[in-house]
Amino acid sequence: MAPFFMLDNFLTYLRSEKRYSEHTCLAYKTDLDQFLDFIDAACENDIKEVELNLIRSWMVDLIDHDYSTKSVHRKIASVRTFYKWLQRNGEIDTNPAKLIHLPKLLKTPPSFAHVEEVSRENVECLFDDSFNGVRDQLMFELLYQTGIRSSELIGLTMKNVSQGKIKVVGKRNKERFIPISGSLFLLIKKYLVLKEQLNVENDFLIVLNNGKKIYPKFVYRKINDYLGEATELSVKSPHVLRHTFATHMLNSGAGLEVLKELLGHSNLSATQVYTHNSFAQLTNIYSQSHPRGTKK
C-alpha cells in the first residue's frame, strides 16, 4: 500500500471511528506528512520498514530545528498512533515508535486573566453598540462565562441557545449543557435583534457582518486584540479565556468534578492542571489569614 493511501485511510479512520475533529485530523496529517518527508530525504525507506532509530533521528532533527518540547511530543504521538493503526491492521508486526523516549515535558500552569482584568467594568467599554461590537462582546463573554473552546463557539447554532443554558457539541460530538447567566442571555437577545437585520440564511449563532460563519483565525484575532487591551498577558488567545473561566471557577469554590463536566473533559487529569492556580490562591489566602502568614 502506497504511503499516501495509508495516510488517507488512517485519516478516514480518525474521522469515522475515533470521531476526531477536522482540526485534529489536520494536525495528524501535518505531522505525518513532515515525517514522511524526513524518511524520504534520509533513506527512502518504505514507511513499513521504519525502525526506532530513524524515528529517534527525526525527533533529534525536530529539536535541532527549535521545535518546542510540547510540539515534539505531539508529533511523536501522531507517528506512534499511526503505527499502532498499521499494526492493528496487520500491515506491520511491531510499532517502532512504541519504545521511543521523549524529552521531559516541563509543565507550566495555564495563562489566565485576573478577575479585575475581565470585570464587567473593564471589558464592556471595549465594545460599541454596532453589530460587530455586540457580536465581538458576545464572543468574549461566551468564551469567558462558559469556558467553551473556540471550535465549540464557532459551531454554536441558534437551536443550541435557550434561556438559562446552552448546548455545546464538543470533541467526538459529545454534548453537554452549560448554564448561562441572565445578563448573558440578554446580550444574546440584543445580538439576535441586530443579526436579524442581516437576513442571514444559515443557522449558526455567531456570524460575520456578511452573514457567513465565523472561522478560527477570525476568533483568535478578535480575542487577541481585546485581551491585549484589557490585560497584561503575554499569551492572548481564545483558550486563555477558557483557562480564565476554569481558574476563576476553581478559585471560587467549584469542585473538580463539576469543572470537568463544564469543560467537557473526558477524564479528571485534564482538569487537574488548574489546581496549580487554585493552590496559589489558597497560598495567598493562607498568608493573609494565618497568624504566622508571610504577609502579616
Q: So which residues are the catalytic ones?
A: 149, 171, 239, 242, 265, 274
Q: Which residue has cell 465549540?
A: 152
Picking from 110, 108, 107, 106, the residue whose alpha carbon sits closest to that of residue 249 is: 110
Residue 169 bridge partners (DSSP): 175
Contacts for 271 with CB less than 8 Å, ≥ 6 apart: 246, 256, 259, 260, 263, 265
Rounded to whole angstroms, the Cα distance separating 207 from 199 reads 11
